């Protein structure tokens, strides 16, 4: 297949590009490098351009007949989205609409969308399945939910089939050591902890140790990046077979507490580092875990790197290989 990966120079997109290319697909990445890296695109052609730029899209779609588009490009910082919502609505919603309209114009029928647990807002129950109420509590989550709604309407009106994959926490790195996480600023727990382990960061902060969880720290669901990418390939195959749109929550199903992630990181890295306990942050639920039964049943998705140690080992290998030079 010929697949366009939008945002393929970013963390998740770059792993997806690799997985698709190694499964004999022709992959083209479109990325404006606003948050991604040229050297993260190890396979296929990289077109540097903005997904909201009609000229770029016309050129791409005139030149190639894509079987599907996978869309990873977005701004992803929840805090920034509160301070500067315009930036988020513009890129995550308006630019996505430009892409969808171009797909309709060029009759490309299959779309995979990177959605998020943030569309659900404060958990009403846990683990969170697809039936959970959708009440995002920040602009980032709202931008993603808006696109999900847009996709329902584009299916009804134009027959554009989509699968929305709601990731909980993507984590880990390419087991070959070729790719990894490089957000700037970094806000994800695993790389922040490993930066403390490698000495790139003075300490790691735990925001609240008085949650109603086993050790008092927040519990989150970490899913390995390769398992996440695998779910995209399975979702695309399923969508092409059934001709139906779908939505799936993607997580490990096992929650790990912040303290457990820290303890495991110390064990895997063999390094001790400073841990600072501070107050809770507003808007952090105690437990955020996915119920991925639907994805497991309908896609036959079965995460292979589901042990916390394995997730951290691959991320640590990346931290050592890439940053310790
Ligand atoms: N990282 C996570 O744990 C997580 C969790 C839930 C959902 N998601 C979603 O997954 C997707 C990928 O996340 P990530 O962690 O890889 O982010 P990332 O920032 O590493 O990658 C995003 C990529 O998109 C590119 N991009 C952004 N705007 C663009 C535009 N207008 N035109 C072209 N390229 C553009 C950036 O340059 C970057 O390479 C995002 O949509 C995010 O909302 C991520």
> Is 140 an active-site residue?
yes
Please indicate whether residue 4, judged by its CB atom, sits closer than 6 Å to ligand 1: no
Q: Which atom of ligand 1 is nearest the CA belonging to 171?
A: 3
CATH topology of domain 2-171+222-250: Rossmann fold (3.40.50)
Per-residue pLDDT of 260-290, as tens digits, reads 999 999 999 999 999 999 999 888 889 999 9
What would you report as the CA-atom Rg of the chain, rounded to the nearest whole angstrom?
19
Query: What's residue 104's pLDDT?
Result: 98
Cβ–ligand 1 distance for 74 under 6 Å, the answer yes
Contact (CB, 8 A) for 21 and 8 = no
What does the DSSP 8-state code read for residue 120? T
The domains spanning 2-171+222-250 and 189-221+253-323 adopt the same CATH topology: no
Which atom number of ligand 1 is nearest to the Cα of residue 188? 3
Domain ranges of the chain: 2-171+222-250, 189-221+253-323
Structure pTM? 0.97
Q: Which of 67-71, 182-186, 308-312 has the lowest mean pLDDT?
A: 182-186
Residue 325, pLDDT score: 57
Q: Which CATH class is domain 189-221+253-323?
A: alpha beta
The whole-angstrom separation of Cα 117 and Cα 109 is: 25
Residue with CA closest to ligand 1 atom 20: 10
Please check the confidence at residue 168 and state whether its pLDDT lies above 70: yes
Distance CA 59, CA 62 (A): 5
């Amino acid at each position: 297949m010929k697949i366009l990966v939008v945002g393929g120079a970013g963390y998740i997109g770059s792993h997806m590009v690799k997985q698709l290319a190694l499964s004999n697909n022709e992959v083209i990445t479109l990325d404006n490098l606003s948050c991604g890296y040229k050297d993260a695109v190890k396979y296929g052609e990289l077109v540097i351009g903005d997904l909201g730029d009609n000229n770029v899209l016309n050129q791409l779609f005139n030149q190639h007949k894509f079987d599907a588009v996978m869309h990873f490009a977005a701004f992803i910082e929840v805090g920034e989205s509160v301070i500067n919502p315009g930036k988020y609505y513009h890129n995550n919603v308006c630019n996505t609409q430009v892409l969808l309209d171009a797909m309709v114009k060029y009759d490309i029928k299959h779309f995979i969308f990177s959605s998020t647990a943030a569309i659900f807002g404060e958990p009403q129950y846990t683990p969170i399945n697809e039936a959970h109420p959708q009440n995002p509590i920040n602009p980032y989550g709202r931008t993603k939910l808006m696109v999900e709604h847009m996709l329902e309407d584009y299916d009804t009106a134009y027959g554009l089939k989509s699968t929305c994959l709601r990731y909980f926490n993507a984590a880990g790195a390419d087991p070959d050591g070729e790719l990894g996480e490089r957000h700037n600023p970094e806000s994800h727990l695993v790389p922040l902890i490993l930066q403390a382990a490698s000495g790139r960061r003075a300490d790691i902060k735990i925001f609240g140790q008085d949650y109603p969880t086993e050790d008092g720290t927040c519990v989150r669901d970490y899913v390995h990046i390769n398992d996440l990418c695998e779910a995209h390939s399975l979702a695309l195959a399923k969508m092409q077979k059934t001709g139906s749109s779908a939505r799936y929550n993607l997580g490990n199903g096992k929650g790990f507490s912040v303290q457990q992630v820290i303890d495991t990181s110390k064990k895997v890295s063999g390094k001790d580092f400073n841990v600072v306990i501070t107050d809770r942050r507003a808007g952090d639920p105690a437990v955020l875990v996915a119920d991925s039964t639907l994805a497991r049943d309908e896609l036959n998705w079965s995460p292979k790197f589901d042990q916390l140690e394995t997730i951290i080992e691959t991320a640590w290998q990346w931290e050592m290989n890439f940053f310790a030079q």
